[in-house]
Amino acid sequence: MKIKADCIPCLIDRAKFECDLALKDEEDKIHTLAEILRFIGNNCERDLSPAFFGTYRDRIIRWRSNNIDHYERLKKEANESAKRLLPLAKGFYEESKDKFKLDALLRIAAAANSMEYGVRGYKFSNRKFEEEFERTLNEELVGNLEEVKMTILNGKNILYLTDNAGEIVFDKFVIEKLVAMGKNIILSPKERAVMNDATVKDAEELKFENKIVPSGSAIGVLLEEANKEFLRYLWNPDFLILAKGMGNYETISSFEDELRGKLIYVLRAKCYSIAEENKVKKGSLVARLVL
């Protein structure tokens, strides 16, 4: 996905949100925002994704603030919120009448992608999410769902790309059920902190039993920075790719032709650009196999 005009004000809004997390001094915020604006201005005519700019926005803020994880507090709060909701997700799964309960798992995975901060035009709070979680699980799930489910049922190996902290609590439950179905899951969080994305540390604290192969330390998948072991799984024809969230979509969609028939996006379309790309309404829950 190439950067769109709508992406630029969103990048700036998120930059201000992150500066407020990482910096206290107003002058430091101004200089940091100015540097981010220069970076976007100098590179926005290149064939790059919004996630590329988001990655470097995040790095600029870290460099200037000397704060390696300015989302740390919000990530912990998100994980605790998700843990409180997990019994509801488990109950939703158990009550599912779908033979293999894959529909319920996909809904849980997509609903969990609601957990996001600082997206322009998308209001999120843990309190509101907890209040509306049951309704969220029952929202319409848009996509070629039968193809998604059949592809998962027929597959053996899955490379599972996580997205946000909080969300990863639900991913653990989804993955446990997939493993119980006989699937071999390779978990791929971030190697270290980038925005509010789940990291190897988050996965270890949640005691995932799966093999963990981080994708890198960028938003989504930047092929030029990705770990070599991760790339071996990404291009392995025997592995399905289940990619959570908008950052993974923004980056992987630029080379998805090479992954047709084995790539599944699961996300909430929180902005108009992502919604337009996926031909859905803004705010939709999406589970789609790339054909």
Q: What is the DSSP string of 47-88?
A: S--HHHHHHHHHHHHHHHHT-S-TTHHHHHHHHHHHHHHHHH
Position 224, amino acid: E
What is the per-residue pLDDT for 215?
Answer: 96
- 49: tokens are 């994704």
Residue 47 has pLDDT above 90, yes or no: no
User: 1 lies in a domain?
Assistant: no
What is the per-residue pLDDT for 249?
Answer: 98
- The string of pLDDT tens digits covering residues 5-32 is 999 999 999 999 999 999 999 999 999 9
Cβ contact 127:115 at 8 Å: no
Report the CATH number that the domain containing residue 209 is assigned in CATH: 3.40.50.10880
Are 20 and 78 found together in one domain?
A: no
Are 213 and 284 found together in one domain?
A: yes
Residue 98 has pLDDT above 90, yes or no: no
Are 82 and 59 found together in one domain?
A: no
Last residue of a domain, one of 33, 48, 65: 65
SS3 of residue 242 by DSSP:
strand
Last residue of a domain, one of 38, 65, 92: 65
- Mean pLDDT value across the chain: 96
- The whole-model pTM stands at 0.97
- 279: tokens are 């031909």
- The string of pLDDT tens digits covering residues 116-164 is 999 999 999 999 999 999 999 999 999 999 999 999 999 999 999 999 9
What is the per-residue pLDDT for 46?
Answer: 83
Q: Which domain holds residue 164?
A: 72-289
User: 2 lies in a domain?
Assistant: no
User: 43 lies in a domain?
Assistant: yes
What is the per-residue pLDDT for 44?
Answer: 86
Structural domains in the chain (count): 2
Residue of 247, 23, 271 whose CA lies nearest to 124: 271
**DSSP state for residue 208 in the 8-state scheme:** -
Are 90 and 30 found together in one domain?
A: no
Which residues is 110 bridged to in the sheet? none
Q: Look at the block and give the residue holding tokens 């592995």.
A: 239
Cβ contact 143:288 at 8 Å: yes
Higher pLDDT, 47 or 263: 263
